[in-house]
Amino acid sequence: MFRIGVDTGGTFTDAVGQLEDGSWQIVKLPTTAQRPSKAILAAVDQLAPASSVPVEMVHGTTHATNALLTGKLGKVVFVTTEGFRDLLAIGRQDRDDVYALEPSASRPRQPPQRIVEVKERMAADGSVVQKLSATEIRRVVEAVKAKKPEAIAVACLHAYATPLHEKKLGRALRKLGVPVMLSHEVAPEIREYERATTTWADASLAPVVRRALLDLLDGLKAKHHASTLRIMRSDGGTAAVEAAVEHPVTLALSGPAGGLSAALALAQARGDAQIMTLDMGGTSTDVAWLDSALPENRPISVGRIPLLARGLPIHSVGTGGGSLASVDYGGLLQVGPESAGAIPGPACYGRGGKRATVTDAHLLCGRLLPNAFLGGDFPLQTSAAMEAVEKLGRSLNQPAALTAQQILQIASADMERALRQVSLAEGRDPRDAMLYSFGGAGGLHAAWLSERLGMRGVVVPPLAGAFSAFGLLGAPPRRRLTRSVLRDLPNARARKNLFTPYISQLKQELKNEGCAPRSLKVKSIVELRGQGQAGVLSLQDGPKLRERFHALHQKRFGFSRPDRPVELHAISVQVDGTTIAPWEKQKTRKQNAKSWGSGRCWFGTCGQDQETQYFAREAMRPGAVIHGPAIITEYSATTVVPPRWTAALDAWNCLTLLPQS
């Protein structure tokens, strides 16, 4: 089979495939937002033109993310316990911005007329308070049917403890022939609001995501018979398309998770214990802190709606290469979150864009080379960028050069705040970590940000601009399940008994997808908290669990209370299959790289432009060394090496940028 990884972003669709000679080929095409499969299949045609060859595609998609953010969802009827019809509307009373004079709450967009209450009640201990009668079930089914739903979400009170009533409702409602999501299947955990929002999101996404993914699968098989399609999930693993559409809420952060999964696998191969990731694309930047030994999966949120679907700890900011620069009402320059998108894109793309973007600023500062963009196949228009930035500069009464520099400084400051949020704000020291930078624009800012945070250095992986697509091919088939427990921490034998049935269940699911039983790897994870606490810490189950919990609590929060009981809040089981890692370690030979040209570039560390050497990454071999200032171009990305920095191509074909001592 011809293996292809495809990452659909807000601006570009990236596809990576391995050729017969073992080399990798990249295709970057503008995303077709109205029908994402169009750009994907066009990229596949370029990578695998022979229709006789079946394709194995691994796909990371922003379709679920964008649907939740824009509200373009299926028509859902929400079924809940009598007296709780306003559960979604009330939500939590948390305020995202404590000092906002007019705070706006973010709630699921569920019309009240499409909510059905059911007369039933379970207690928190699992006992029946009000029995669900057969007459009531028939009434609920008729009420739901009259509303002509595209999907149904059922979230009854305390169903995580005893799902008896939800199961009865589910059997009856599924006869209507539309997807029915039951909260005890989607998120068997405490916190009724979050369990309800997760179930609602799962049902709302079902009609939308199912159509998009099955459309892609049909288009793939139409030309490449016997092809297969796997989808990246928020937790960094993949699932067959049939399993992915069964619970699409697990795809809420599918796109960004691809890059994190790839970075994690590369960090484990390189031996980097702690890393921060910087994935800067055209629309946004995603950052994360990853511990390569046990990457943390936590409840996620999209559009400020909390979801109990576990995902890698991604923090996003609306700063990307296409982020638009503007002057606010106070007369100050701001960058993003509005983006030029794929159409028209930045002004320098020459597609009709008239407003200045981060990409335009990089071009005017000499950090992007107009004839090297996408290997020279997509030359950038300096005159169009100058016109857009000059127009913005006139609003600020300053020259275009200064305006471009300020755009870059503001964009970098936004990303620096995001990196501080996932490191210092979480009790982690960025000086202990390497910064893994990828995405088309990540290498333009990485050294700048690493220096600001005092990090060890920067790793720019191979095929950096399409690294998420590249890394998808190394993501393992995965299943993960989390269930609330809520009891004092039991001994090792009792914990093993808790995990055993779920391990068997998840192993069977992966076996059904064709994973060899002997290849399956199991991780048993516990979520612990001190007595009286709300927040939890995740640890892999094993010896000296209490001691490890208190040590982690001390490191994260600066204190611990070993004298207080420890509670087992929840258990998680993760089962992984195996896959082929897309990178191989090579021999290195130290050598100076050869420059192909030079020019002047602004680096932000001093007021003047500096003479800068240009290098082509494709011409470099493992062991090649470059002394800054330099600009390293490649088909899908550009990397800036500031003065007093060195860059070396290591055995993993990664550019390692280090400050000179």
Nearest to 238 by CA among 541, 514, 461: 514
Three-state DSSP class for residue 588: coil
368's CB contacts (< 8 A; 6+ apart) are 359, 362, 380, 444, 638
Q: How much is the pLDDT for 178? A: 96
Mention the CATH class of domain 73-202.
alpha beta
Token pair of 171, please?
Answer: 């059997």
Q: Are 310 and 298 in contact (CB under 8 A)?
A: yes
For domain 478-576, which architecture applies?
A: 2-Layer Sandwich (3.30)
What are the Cα distances from residue 457, in Å, to 264, 277, 280, 655? Answer: 17, 12, 17, 11
Residue 408 has pLDDT above 70, yes or no: yes
Q: Are 259 and 460 in contact (CB under 8 A)?
A: no
Question: pLDDT tens-digit profile of 322-370?
Answer: 899 999 888 899 998 888 877 788 999 998 999 999 999 999 999 999 9
pLDDT category, 63, cuts 50, 70, 90? confident
Whole-number Å distance between alpha carbons of 252 and 243: 14
Three-state DSSP class for residue 454: coil
Q: Say if residue 293 is exposed, middle or buried (CB neighbours under 10 Å; 0-12, 13-18, 19+).
A: exposed
**What share of the chain in percent tops pLDDT 90?**
63
Residue type for position 297: N
Report phi then psi at 533, rounded to 5.
-95, 160
500's CB contacts (< 8 A; 6+ apart) are none
Mean pLDDT within 42-59: 86
Report phi then psi at 24, rounded to 5.
-110, 140
Whole-number Å distance between alpha carbons of 17 and 27: 9
What are the Cα distances from residue 392, in Å, to 325, 343, 361, 584? Answer: 8, 20, 11, 47
What are the Cα distances from residue 51, in Å, to 47, 210, 218? Answer: 11, 25, 14
Asked if the bond preceding 256 is cis, omega within 30° of 0, the reply is no
Whole-number Å distance between alpha carbons of 184 and 164: 10
Query: What DSSP assignment string belongs to 609-627?
Result: -EEEEEEEGGG--TTEEEE
Question: pLDDT tens-digit profile of 29-40?
Answer: 888 877 888 999
Nearest to 578 by CA among 523, 515, 524, 507: 515
- What's the pTM value of the predicted model, to 2 decimals? 0.87
Q: How much is the pLDDT for 383? A: 95
Beta strands 638-641 and 76-81, pairing class: unpaired
Mean pLDDT within 552-567: 88
Q: CA triplet 540, 541, 546: central angle to 5 degrees?
A: 100
Residue type for position 392: L
Other Cβ atoms less than 10 A from the Cβ of 86: the count is 11
Q: Are 435 and 458 in contact (CB under 8 A)?
A: yes
Question: Comparing 153-157, 158-162, 466-470, which segment has the lowest mean pLDDT?
Answer: 466-470
Torsion of CA 597, 602, 608, 609, to 10 degrees: 20
pLDDT category, 608, cuts 50, 70, 90? confident
Instruction: Describe the strand order of the beta sheet including 478-488 as a list of residue ranges.
Output: 478-488, 566-576, 521-530, 537-540
Question: What is the CATH T-level fold of the domain 2-68+208-251, as seen in this structure?
Answer: Nucleotidyltransferase; domain 5 (3.30.420)
Q: Say if residue 460 is exposed, middle or buried (CB neighbours under 10 Å; 0-12, 13-18, 19+).
A: buried
Q: How much is the pLDDT for 605? A: 58
Alpha-helix runs per DSSP H in 490-622 = 492-512, 545-557
Whole-number Å distance between alpha carbons of 18 and 58: 13
Helix, strand, coil content of the chain in percent (nearest 5): 35, 25, 35
Q: Say if residue 603 is exposed, middle or buried (CB neighbours under 10 Å; 0-12, 13-18, 19+).
A: buried
Q: How much is the pLDDT for 75? A: 96
Residue 418 has pLDDT above 80, yes or no: yes
Whole-number Å distance between alpha carbons of 661 and 645: 9
CA gyration radius for the chain? 26
3-state secondary structure 361-409: HHHHCCCCCCCCHHHHCCCCCHHHHHHHHHHHHHHHCCCHHHHHHHHHH
Packing angle of the helix pair 382-396, 400-422 (nearest 10 deg): 90
Whole-number Å distance between alpha carbons of 143 and 353: 50
Q: How much is the pLDDT for 607? A: 58
Whole-number Å distance between alpha carbons of 302 and 316: 10
Other Cβ atoms less than 10 A from the Cβ of 28: the count is 24
Residue 295 has pLDDT above 70, yes or no: no
**Partners of 116 in beta bridges:** 79
Q: How many helices (H) and strands (E) does the chain have?
A: 16, 33
Q: How much is the pLDDT for 620? A: 93
Residue 112 has pLDDT above 90, yes or no: yes
Residue 166 has pLDDT above 90, yes or no: yes
> Domain boundaries in the chain?
2-68+208-251, 73-202, 478-576, 591-659
Q: Are 335 and 341 in contact (CB under 8 A)?
A: no
